[in-house]
Amino acid sequence: MGSTAAEERAMRRALELAAAPGVPLGPNPRVGCVLLAPDGSTVAEGFHRGAGTPHAEADALARAGERARGTTAVVTLEPCNHTGRTGPCAQALAAAGVRRVVFAQPDPNPVAAGGRETLRAAGVDVEHGLLEEAAREVNRVWSIAVGRGRPFVTWKLAVSLDGRSAAADGTSRWISSTAARRDTHWLRALADTMLVGTHTVEVDDPLLTVRDEHDRPRERQPLRVVMGERDLDPGRRVFNGDAETLHLRTRDPHAALAELHARERRHVFLEGGPTLAAAFLRAGLVDEVVAYVAPMLLGDGPQAVAGLGIRTIGDALRPTVTDVTVLDGVPGEAPNVRLTMTPHPEGA
């Protein structure tokens, strides 16, 4: 029968609820739900607040109580069909007497999918696809990660104009500007995992935490992951108590991501050195590149990425640029440019 104007308005509201500030990213998707009365008025709203909390549909049903009977549930993601930390939403909607469900995005998770069939088998009218692209954007990283069965990987690098990540003597503080470093922490906060190699820990001794504009640690911290087989000094800063840390004793990017996926990690922020970056690029496991380019020339020093086995210009890796942003520096600092790129099509 198609969706109504009231359902479209409700879906836009559900998308706002799904993107509510403060909702943690991963391992679950962000979802919003609006229950509509037959006359198109809103009966109740709900949204998911993170793993272990009620799903958006359950939240809205609890707020509606008996008023849920005969309503239309407008949901940004297909109602789940499995029992995890909470029960299946498809069954909860049918049991509450909801007569119609309109959802935007089909669930890409094979474990949770199948809600529409369960609802239809219970006699509930189901419509899907309303504002689907907008819903996918709300959960872009999660959708890709679940669809590929591994975490989404963002590789971040900071380089000079001639592609150097440090000077010839190894110094790299600071290639990027204050504004770029603050922007990096904002991006770190969008991920649930920070990943570097053992060499970076030994040489740079990074903290790998997310900090605010005053350099104070934020309340929510990603998992810090060190990848590599060698033993490390337990006194390195990455092993302090500021955040949880995991040492993955492997050099295989596929194995590392498989382990992180098993731990329900959905977004890896790769900040390792040139060897680790090259390993992920050669394996085709980089989904997004964020490069901060500083207006300086070093002429010598380590490159941002090690050898990729490319011998001719025709084989060059040519990522698609999706965003170019100039980050104005503080007084006395030159602006940096942030390039956001996709190495391969998101459907690949």
Q: Is the pLDDT of residue 346 over 60?
A: no
Instruction: Give the pLDDT confidence score for residue 272 in this predicted structure.
Output: 83
Give first-to-last CA distance, the chain, whole Å: 33
d(Cα 120, Cα 304) in Å, to the nearest integer?
A: 53
Q: CA–CA separation, 130 vs 236, rounded Å?
A: 50
Rounded to whole angstroms, the Cα distance separating 296 from 234 reads 36
3 state SS of 194: strand
pLDDT average, residue stretch 326-345 = 87
39 annotated ligand binder: no
* pLDDT at res. 1: 66
pLDDT for 347 equals: 47
Stretch 290-300: mean pLDDT, rounded?
93
State residue 77's pLDDT score.
97
Find out whether 204 is annotated in a ligand binding site.
Answer: yes
Structure confidence at residue 122 (pLDDT): 96
Label residue 206 exposed, middle or buried (CB < 10 Å: 0-12, 13-18, 19+): middle
Between 215 and 235, the more confident residue is 235
Asked if 235 and 264 count as a contact pair (C-beta separation under 8 A), the reply is no
The highest-level CATH class for domain 5-144 is alpha beta
Q: How confident is residue 73, by pLDDT bands cut at 50, 70 and 90?
A: very high
Tell whether 80 is in a known binding site: yes
> Distances in Å between the alpha carbon of 137 and those of 14, 36, 79, 282?
13, 24, 18, 27
Q: Report whether pLDDT(301) > 80.
A: yes
Query: What tokens does 190 get?
Result: 């969008």
Q: 345: pLDDT confidence band, cut at 50, 70 and 90?
A: low
What amino acid positions are annotated as catalytic residues?
57
For the stretch 222-254, pLDDT in tens is 999 999 999 999 999 999 999 999 999 999 999
Q: What is the pLDDT of residue 167?
A: 85
Q: Where are the alpha helices (DSSP H) in 86-234?
A: 89-95, 115-121, 132-138, 140-148, 178-188, 198-204
Tell which wins on pLDDT, 218 or 268. 268
The answer on whether 319 is annotated among ligand-binding residues is no
Q: Is 188 annotated as a binding residue?
A: yes
Domain 150-342 adopts which CATH fold?
Answer: Dihydrofolate Reductase, subunit A (3.40.430)
For residue 172, is pLDDT > 90? no
In terms of Cα–Cα distance, which of 279, 262, 189, 187 is closest to 227? 279
pLDDT averaged over the chain? 92
Confidence band, pLDDT 50/70/90 cuts, at residue 64 = very high
Q: Tokens standing for 261? A: 């996926």
Residue 209 has pLDDT above 90, yes or no: yes
Residue 200 annotated as binding site = yes
pTM of the model: 0.88
Query: Is 35 annotated among the ligand-binding residues?
Result: no
Token pair for 41: 């008025």
Q: Does 155 appear as a known binding residue?
A: no
- What are the domain boundaries of the chain? 5-144, 150-342
Span 55-77, average pLDDT? 97
Task: State which amino acid sits at residue 307.
Answer: G
CA-to-CA separations, 183 to 136, 155, 304, in angstroms, rounded: 24, 14, 19
What does the pLDDT look like over 77-120, one tens digit per residue? 999 988 777 779 999 999 999 999 999 999 998 777 889 999 99
Is the bond preceding residue 174 a cis peptide, omega within 30 degrees? yes
Has 273 been labeled as part of a binding site? Answer: yes
Query: How high is the pLDDT of residue 166?
Result: 84
State yes or no: 278 annotated in a binding site. yes
